Amino acid sequence: MTSHWILGPGAIGRLLAHSLSPLADVTSVGRRALPAQQTITTPEAEPRSQHLNVITTSQLLAKAPAPPTCVHITTKAMAAEAALESVASILSTTTPLVLWQNGFLAQPRLTELWPGPVLCATTTEGAYLTGDKNLVHAGHGHTFVGDLENRHAALAQQIAHQLAQAGLAATAVDDIRSRLWQKLAVNAAINPLVALNGIRNGELRCAAYAGRVEAVVEEVAEIMLAEGVQAPNGDSGLDDWLALAWDVIEKTANNKASMLQDVEAKRLTEREAILGPLIGSGERHEVGCEVLRGLNRELAVLEAGF
Ligand code: KPL
C-alpha cells in the first residue's frame, strides 16, 4: 500500500485525503488540530462521513513515522516552502513531492531546492470548505501532472493513475510548465480585479470592468509570447488569450474567486505567485506591465490594512 502525506488541509488537500484514503495510507498534516471525522458532499450523492488521519505538524514530528511514498503539498503558494521545511527533517531526500499551488512561484523554487523528484499538478476540480469538517466537492474537473524538466514521466504516470483510481480524473503530461502559465494567465485576468472590487467572476463582464480585464490580458498576451507559452487552443495571439479569459469568466460566473475569498477573510493573497512571475518576466523581456504592476500595488495596499 502506498502512503501519502498531504501538507495543507485546505479544500484541495481535503479532497485528496477523502479520495485517496480508501486506497492508500493517507496522513493529512496541518498547523492546527482538525476533527478526524470529516464529511464530503458532492452534487450527485448524499453527504459521506469519513475518518481521516489528520494530525498537526508537531504531532507528526513527534511520531517520526517512516517516510511516505509521496508528499502532496496543497498549501497556498507562499506557504509551500515553509510547509516542506517543517517536515523535511523526517523525510527521505528522495521522497517525491507533488505541488498543487496556483501561479509559478513555489514550483521553480522547490524544483531547484528539493533533491528528490518534484511534480507539479494543476487542477480544475472545484472544492470548498464549509467549516472545519465539511468539504463540498462542487464540480468534477481534471488534473494534469508533470515535472518542469520532464525527467520524471514514469512517476507522473503513476501519480495520475493513483488519482484516477481515487476518482479524480488525471493525465500525466510533458508540458506542465505551459499549463501552469496558462492557468496563471487566467488567474491574473480574474483574481486581482474581483478581489479589489469585491465582485463575483461574472460581474467582470459589465462595462465597468470589461476594459480592465482586456487591459490585463493585453499585457499577459505579450508576456506569454515572450515566454513562448501558447494559449490552450494552440495559438498565441491576443484574441486567443482574450477568448480563454472570457470563457473561464463565463464558466465560473457565480464563483467567488480564491483571491476574493482571501481578501474577505483578511488573509494574504496569492498575488506574489500570480502577478510576481508575470511582472518578473515582463521586466526580463522588456515587455510593459504597468497594468499588472498597478494591480499588484493595489493588492499590497489592501493587504497592508489586514
Ligand atoms: O482559479 C480560479 C480561482 O478562483 O482562483 C478561477 C479560475 C479564477 C475561478 O474562480
Lowest mean pLDDT among 97-101, 204-208, 257-261, 289-293: 257-261
Identify which of 278, 296, 275, 184 has the alpha carbon closest to the alpha carbon of residue 222: 278
Mean pLDDT over 83-93 rounds to 97
Predicted confidence (pLDDT) at residue 19 exceeds the cutoff of 80: yes
Please give the number of the atom of ligand 1 that sits closest to the Cα of 191: 8
The pLDDT value given to residue 158 = 98
State the Cα–Cα distance between residues 201 and 250, nearest whole angstrom: 8
Q: Give the closest residue to 292 by CA, choosing from 261, 268, 271.
A: 271
Query: What's the predicted TM-score (pTM) here?
Result: 0.95
* Per-residue confidence (pLDDT) for residue 146, from 0 to 100: 98
Q: What percent of the chain has pLDDT over 90?
A: 93
| Mean pLDDT rounded to a whole number for the chain | 96
Concatenated DSSP letters of 23-48: TSEEEEEESS---SEEEEEETTEEEE
Predicted local distance difference test score (pLDDT) of residue 11 = 94
Contact present, 298 and 196 (Cβ < 8 Å): yes
pLDDT value at residue 303: 97
Amino acid at 36: A
- Annotation: CATH topology of 177-304: N-(1-d-carboxylethyl)-l-norvaline Dehydrogenase; domain 2 (1.10.1040)
Q: Rounded CA gap, 60 and 31, in Å?
A: 11
| pLDDT one-digit tens code per residue, 240-278 | 999 999 999 999 998 889 999 999 999 999 999 999 999
Q: Sketch the domain layout of the chain as residue ranges.
A: 3-173, 177-304
Ligand 1, atom 4: closest residue by C-alpha: 257
The ligand 1 site (C-beta within 6 Å) comprises: 186-187, 190-191, 201, 248, 252, 255, 257-258
Gap from CA of 187 to ligand 1 centroid (Å): 6
Atom in ligand 1 nearest the alpha carbon of residue 270: 5
In the chain the beta strands, taken as DSSP E runs, fall at 3-7, 25-30, 37-42, 45-51, 54-56, 70-73, 97-99, 118-123, 126-129, 134-139, 143-146, 170-172
- What is the pLDDT at residue 71? 98
CA pair distance 100, 143, nearest whole angstrom: 10
Hey, whose CA ends up nearest to atom 1 of ligand 1?
Answer: 187
* Grid cell digits, residue 145: 501532472
Q: What is the pLDDT of residue 43?
A: 82
* Cα–Cα nearest to 227, from 175, 284, 146: 284
Q: Which H/E stretch holds residue 244?
A: helix 238-251
pLDDT at 231: 94
Per-residue pLDDT reduced to its tens digit, 59-75: 999 999 999 999 999 99
If you take atom 6 of ligand 1, which residue's CA is the nearest one?
257
183 is catalytic: yes
Pocket test for ligand 1, best of 244, 247, 252, 269 (most atoms within 8 A of CB): 252
pLDDT reported for residue 235: 76
Q: Which of 187, 256, 261 to mutate to test the pocket of ligand 1 (most atoms within 8 A of CB)?
A: 187
Contacts of 56 (CB under 8 A, 6+ apart): 29, 30, 31, 32, 33
Asked if the model's pLDDT at residue 234 lies above 80, the reply is no
Q: What angle do CA 205, 209, 212 make, to 5 degrees?
A: 115
CATH class of 3-173: alpha beta
- Tell the residue number behind the cell numbers 498576451, with chain if given: 221
SS3 51: strand
- pLDDT band of residue 1 (cuts 50, 70, 90) is confident
| Distance in Å, CA 68 to ligand 1 centroid | 31
Q: What is the pLDDT of residues 29-62, one digit of tens each?
A: 999 999 999 999 998 889 999 999 999 999 999 9
Distance 281 CA to ligand 1 centre (A): 22
Q: Quote the CA–CA distance of 16 and 127 in Å, as a whole number.
A: 11
How far, in Å, is the centroid of ligand 1 from the Cα of 279? 20
Look up the ipTM and state it: 0.97
Q: For residues 156 and 244, give the distance between their C-alpha atoms in angstroms, rounded to a whole number.
A: 26
Q: What is the DSSP letter of 229?
A: -
Q: Which of 63, 76, 133, 183 is catalytic?
A: 183
Dump pLDDT digits (tens) for 172-196: 999 999 999 999 999 999 999 999 9
Report the residue among 142, 186, 190, 196 best suited for mutation to probe ligand 1: largest number of ligand atoms under 8 A from its CB: 190
Q: What are the CA-CA distances from residue 232 to residues 46, 48, 153, 179, 241 (Å)? A: 36, 36, 21, 8, 9
* Interval between CA 1 and ligand 1 midpoint (Å): 34
**pLDDT at site 233:** 80
Cα of 188 to ligand 1 centre, how many Å? 9
